[in-house]
Homo-oligomer: A and B are copies of this chain.
């Protein structure tokens, strides 16, 4: 049984968080505006704002326009009160970014990797973090945390249980990085991270129920319900790539048969290509030259993606489906077959208002997602403790 008791401290913490969130979303904004938006009393807002001012998370600027009376003091979110580090570990690269508290990228580093052994990768990651911290501007709070996205199954303790493409299993990544840097560290599945990134900073900002499909070498998915990432029982859900769309179909590397990703991923694309040495990029190049074979290939993949998206819509009835990761470069040829498949398969009631979109943050979805996560944790826990 969950035993959360409610008292005045909880009330204050929540209201303070509400005021801060309002400032972040609506800046510049006056105290009077906040009172109006939140329904809190002017006096309460004033008091809470003063608390937050002392914490350096917001600042005042010169008076704004009068609307017929005294001019308001405008409040702004101090997005450079601290910085977050976001890392995206891919199968053949490590991408790292330093962002301010609003998710703007200040520094970006990208390093190809060949050796995917745990020690080799974490060496690269550590080195990148060190250099980001060195190059970071001065600020009140410094680095507020490190977020890492991983292409694999991660549990709630930050252990990478299984990452087939990296050949990792049971790696205590969070503990390892936390010990080295003594900062809050958070590990998330790459698709979950991408979903959160798009929700906070990209294509999904005005939606509450979003499914983000990470269509890359395999297929993963991040599921956002009621505005929050759904994590399943053990923290690992969203293995939508292994939903069966063809009973007794082609063998999948997971041991099952007929999984979605066998028909709709980058791997599926390359396997179906007639060329021996095809890459996603080479096929896109062909399609751009109007090569009908390449275009037909993309359309076939698109139809298969559509089958899975149909399943997602019927199962979750989300407001929005976002397609992300590498296959986005072929959007031009994929979009139509996906939409057609939905139109001919999905229940009309579910189809009616759902939005299909492609990633807006491109390669940064996952890194921005974990960095946004870090910021959220900092704002929620870190500051109220002060």
A contact set with B: CB distance below 8 Å: 1, 3-8, 10-12, 14-15, 18, 21-22, 25, 37-40, 153, 161-162, 208-209, 221, 225, 230, 232-234, 236-240, 242-247, 254-257, 263, 304, 307, 310-311, 314-319, 344-350, 353-354
Copies in the complex: 2
Residue of B1, B22, B209, B246 touching A232 (CB-CB under 8 A) = B209
Contact (Cβ within 8 A) B349 A162: yes
Residue of B237, B240, B311 touching A244 (CB-CB under 8 A) = B311
Contact (Cβ within 8 A) B5 A311: no
Q: Tell me the bound Cα distance from A195 to B319 in angstroms.
A: 23
Residue of B5, B18, B347, B354 touching A5 (CB-CB under 8 A) = B18
* Contacting residues, chain B, for A314 (C-beta < 8 A): 239-240, 242-243
Contact (Cβ within 8 A) B225 A230: yes
* Contacting residues, chain B, for A15 (C-beta < 8 A): 5-6
Q: Tell me the bound Cα distance from A242 to B317 in angstroms.
A: 12
Q: Tell me the bound Cα distance from A25 to B314 in angstroms.
A: 36
Min Cβ gap A340→B in Å is: 13
Chain B, Cβ-Cβ closest to A40: B5
Min Cβ gap A170→B in Å is: 11
Q: Tell me the bound Cα distance from A196 to B167 in angstroms.
A: 41
Which 8 pairs across A and B sit closest by C-beta, in order of nearness?
Answer: A232-B317, A237-B317, A256-B345, A6-B11, A243-B311, A6-B14, A239-B314, A242-B314
* Contacting residues, chain B, for A209 (C-beta < 8 A): 232-233
* Contacting residues, chain B, for A243 (C-beta < 8 A): 243, 311, 314-315
Q: Tell me the bound Cα distance from A185 to B128 in angstroms.
A: 59
Contact (Cβ within 8 A) B233 A315: no
Residue of B37, B239, B254, B353 touching A315 (CB-CB under 8 A) = B239
28 A-B residue pairs with CB within 8 Å:
A1-B22, A1-B25, A3-B39, A5-B15, A5-B40, A6-B15, A162-B349, A209-B232, A232-B317, A232-B318, A233-B317, A233-B319, A237-B316, A238-B315, A238-B317, A239-B314, A239-B315, A239-B317, A240-B315, A243-B243, A243-B314, A245-B245, A245-B247, A246-B247, A247-B263, A255-B345, A255-B348, A315-B315
